[in-house]
């Protein structure tokens, strides 16, 4: 199975400041045939289901604010929130889907400083 790790476990960021979350996979999630990374990011607020933010590592889901961006390739990926808003307080998960057996990262909790 592909193991996903995230860092940090949690971070506290001031309003308007940048938040950066890292995700690493134990195997490459870059599919060589189409040069696409099979990596998604989700946001989960307390008491709510996960919400898709980013897929194919860097494609923003419709309706997601452009302060959210995804980057990276192969085994190393980053989710960046360029200017943290109060409503961005949540846990963020990465997920690989290159394997038929999906795996998620353990999550990164983002709080306000």
Residues contributing to the site for another protein (CB under 8 A): 1, 38, 40, 42, 44, 48-52, 55-56, 61, 91, 93, 95, 97-107
Rounded to a whole number of angstroms, the minimum distance from the CB of residue 15 to another protein is 26
Say if residue 70 is preceded by a cis peptide, omega within 30 of 0. Answer: no
CB of 3 to another protein, least distance (A): 13
- Read off the tokens for 91: 């846990």
- Comparison of 9 and 113: residue with beta carbon closer to another protein: 9
What count of other Cβ atoms lies within 10 Å of the Cβ of residue 15?
A: 11
CA dist., res. 76 & res. 73, Å (int): 6
Q: Which is nearer to another protein, 8 or 18 (CB)?
A: 8
């Amino acid at each position: 199975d592909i193991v996903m790790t995230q860092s940090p476990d949690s971070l506290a960021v001031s309003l308007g400041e940048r938040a950066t979350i890292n995700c690493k996979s134990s195997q490459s999630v870059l599919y060589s045939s189409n040069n696409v990374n099979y990596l998604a990011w989700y946001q989960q607020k307390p008491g709510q289901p996960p919400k898709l933010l980013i897929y194919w590592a860097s494609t923003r889901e419709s309706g997601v604010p452009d302060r959210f961006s995804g980057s990276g390739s192969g085994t190393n990926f980053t989710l960046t929130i360029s200017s943290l808003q109060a409503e961005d307080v949540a846990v963020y998960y990465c997920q690989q889907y290159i394997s038929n057996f999906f795996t998620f990262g353990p999550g990164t909790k983002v709080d306000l400083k």
